Amino acid sequence: MPLDPSRVVTRLEELRSLTGNEDGAQRVAWTETWANARAWLAESLEDLPLDVERDEAGNDWYTLRGDSERAVLLGGHMDSVPNGGWLDGCLNVLAGAEVLRRIAEEGTPPVTVRLVDWADEEGARFGRSLFGSSAAAGSMSDQDELRKLADRDGVTLPDAVGAFGVDLARVLDAHAQLASAAAYLELHIEQGPVLESLDLPLGVVLGTFGVERWRVTWTGQAAHAGSTPMDRRHDALAGASKLALAIRDVARETGDGAVCTSGGVVCRPGIVTSVVETAEQLLDQRHLDAGKLASMLARAQELSRVFAEEEQIDVDWEKIWSIEPILFDQTLVGFADEAIREVTGTSHRLPSGPLHDAAELSRAGVPTVMLFVQSLRGLSHTKLEDTKPEHLELSVAALDRLATKTIDWIAAG
Ligand SMILES: [Zn+2]
C-alpha cells in the first residue's frame, strides 16, 4: 500500500479520544495512560515484520531489518505534558509509523529502518526532560540528582520508572541502540509562530538554540520613599529596569533570531514605602551561533556594569544553566529542504527555541535533522495546540520523502 498521510490524522484523532479529556492530552510519562498509548501504538504495528524491543531507558524500538545493519532512525515521543496538546510528540511517532509501514510493505529496504518512541521527553512529572534520549545519547550524567527527585505525591523517580521495568543504574546501557545509527529524522510541530506568519506549512530546523541563563543581583540601599531625595538614592530596581530594556536592543542588534528575556525581577524589601535594596533579575539569552551568543552575554554584562555605575549600586552575575547551540547535519538539512519543496513548493530554514530529542541524538554524533510543521497561533503545551489537517498530511508526505532520500544516501555511503 502506498503512503496514506490521511491515516495519520485519523490515528491522531483516535489517540486523542483514547488518552485525552476535556482538558487536553494526559499521556504523562510513567503513568497508565502513557502505557496505554504505547500499547495502542505497538498493537497497530503488529502486522509488520518488525523486531520490537524496549531498551534499558524505557525507549520503545520498532526495527525493520534491511540489507545493511546501518540504520535510519525515525523518532518521537508518545508522552505529553498534563493538559497537553494532541500533536506534540505523537505526530512524530505516528508519522514515523506510517512511513515505516510504507517502506515495510515495499519489501526489504537497503538499510535498516527503526522507529523509536523516546521515554519521557517532556519531563512533566519529575522536571527532567529528554530522559530516554539523553540516556541513549550517553549524555545523562545526573543520575545522582535523578535518584532524589520525587513527584507531587512523593513518589520518587526511581520507583516510578522501576514500575515500568527501568533501573536507573542501567539506563546508560541504552546507548548500545545507537551503535548502528546512521541518521536520525524527526518531524515536530513548530510550537512557535514563525511558519504561520510566513504562511508556510513546513520548515527545516537548522539546530537548537544555545542558551545562557543567569541570575543578575543588583544591590543598592533601602531608604525611606518619603525622606530620601531623588539624587541620593541607590535604587537596585533602576539597574534591573535599565538592563531589562537594554537587552531588547542587544537581541535586535545581534539579529539572526537572537532572543533575550528578562523573565522576572524579585525586589526586596518590596514595599511601597522603600527604595529597592536588592533586585534579583533572571536573564535568558539564546542564539544558534555560539560566538554571537557569547558576545550577547558579554554585551549584557558590560551594560550592567555601566548601569551599576550610573545608579551607584552593585551588580553580580551568577550562572544558572547553559547549553551550547546544536547544529543539525548539513547534508540532511539539504535533503529536508528538497523534500519540503517537492511537497509544498517552498521551504524555509529556522532554528528551534525548545530542545528536542533530536538535539540529544545530534550531540551523540548521529547526523540529524528535524522538520517543523506550522502550529496555529504558535500554541503548544495546551489543549488549544492545533495544526490544519492538510498541513499534517503534507508533513507526513515530506517526512516520507526525507526518509527515502536519507535511506538512499546511507545505502550509497
Ligand atoms: Zn515534543
Q: 33-55: per-residue pLDDT in tens?
A: 999 999 999 999 999 999 999 99
pLDDT at 11: 97
Residue position matching grid coordinates 518521537: 76
Ligand 1 centre to CA of 94 (Å) is 13
Ligand 1 centre to CA of 248 (Å) is 28
The answer to whether residues 98 and 398 touch, using CB atoms and an 8 Å cutoff, is no
Label residue 357 by pLDDT band (50, 70, 90): very high
Label residue 413 by pLDDT band (50, 70, 90): confident
Ligand 1 centre to CA of 132 (Å) is 13
pLDDT at 323: 86
Ligand 1 centre to CA of 127 (Å) is 15
> For residue 324, with 0-12 CB atoms within 10 Å meaning exposed, 13-18 middle and 19 or more buried, which class applies?
middle
CA–centroid distance for 74 within its chain: 16
- Is this model's pTM higher than 0.85 or not? yes
Label residue 336 by pLDDT band (50, 70, 90): very high
Q: What is the 3-state secondary structure (H, E, C) of the chain?
A: CCCCHHHHHHHHHHHHHHHEECCEECCCCCCHHHHHHHHHHHHHCCCCCCEEEECCCCCEEEEECCCEEEEEEEEECCCCCCCECCCCCHHHHHHHHHHHHHHHHCCCCCEEEEEEECCCCCCCCCCCCCHHHHHHHCCCCCHHHHHHCECCCCCEHHHHHHCCCCCHHHHHHHHHHHCCEEEEEEEEECCCCHHHHHCCCEEEEEEECEEEEEEEEEECCCCECCCCCHHHCCCHHHHHHHHHHHHHHHHHHHCCCCEEEEEEEEEECCCCCECCCEEEEEEEEEECCHHHHHHHHHHHHHHHHHHHHHHCCEEEEEEEEEECCEECCHHHHHHHHHHHHHHHCCCCEEEECCCCHHHHHHHCCCCEEEEEECCHHHCCCCCCCCCCHHHHHHHHHHHHHHHHHHHHHHHHC
The answer to whether residues 265 and 237 touch, using CB atoms and an 8 Å cutoff, is yes
Q: Is the pLDDT of residue 381 over 80?
A: yes
Q: Is the pLDDT of residue 30 over 80?
A: yes
Ligand 1 centre to CA of 79 (Å) is 8
Label residue 216 by pLDDT band (50, 70, 90): very high
Label residue 128 by pLDDT band (50, 70, 90): confident
Ligand 1 centre to CA of 301 (Å) is 33
pLDDT in tens, 94-109: 999 999 999 999 999 9
Mean predicted lDDT score pLDDT of the chain: 96
Q: How many CB atoms lie within 10 A of CB 389?
A: 15
Ligand 1 centre to CA of 310 (Å) is 44
Ligand 1 centre to CA of 222 (Å) is 45
Ligand 1 centre to CA of 69 (Å) is 28
The answer to whether residues 238 and 275 touch, using CB atoms and an 8 Å cutoff, is no
Ligand 1 centre to CA of 378 (Å) is 14
- Residues whose Cβ atom is located within 5 A of ion ligand 1: 88-89
Ligand 1 centre to CA of 188 (Å) is 7
Q: How far apart are the first and last CA of the chain?
A: 28
Ligand 1 centre to CA of 130 (Å) is 10
pLDDT at 141: 87
Grid coordinates given for 190: 513548530
Torsion of CA 378, 335, 99, 18, to 10 degrees: -10
pLDDT at 160: 97
Percent of the chain with pLDDT over 70: 100
pLDDT at 355: 84
pLDDT at 351: 93
Crossing angle of the two packed helices 32-44 and 5-19, in degrees rounded to 10: 150
Closest CA to 371 of 68, 123, 177, 99: 99
pLDDT at 44: 97
pLDDT in tens, 57-76: 999 999 999 999 999 999 99
Grid coordinates given for 189: 510541530
Label residue 142 by pLDDT band (50, 70, 90): confident
Cα angle, residue 114 at apex, residues 330 and 351 outer, rounded to 5°? 30
Ligand 1 centre to CA of 128 (Å) is 14
pLDDT at 262: 96
pLDDT in tens, 249-284: 999 999 988 999 999 999 999 999 999 999 999 999
pLDDT at 1: 75
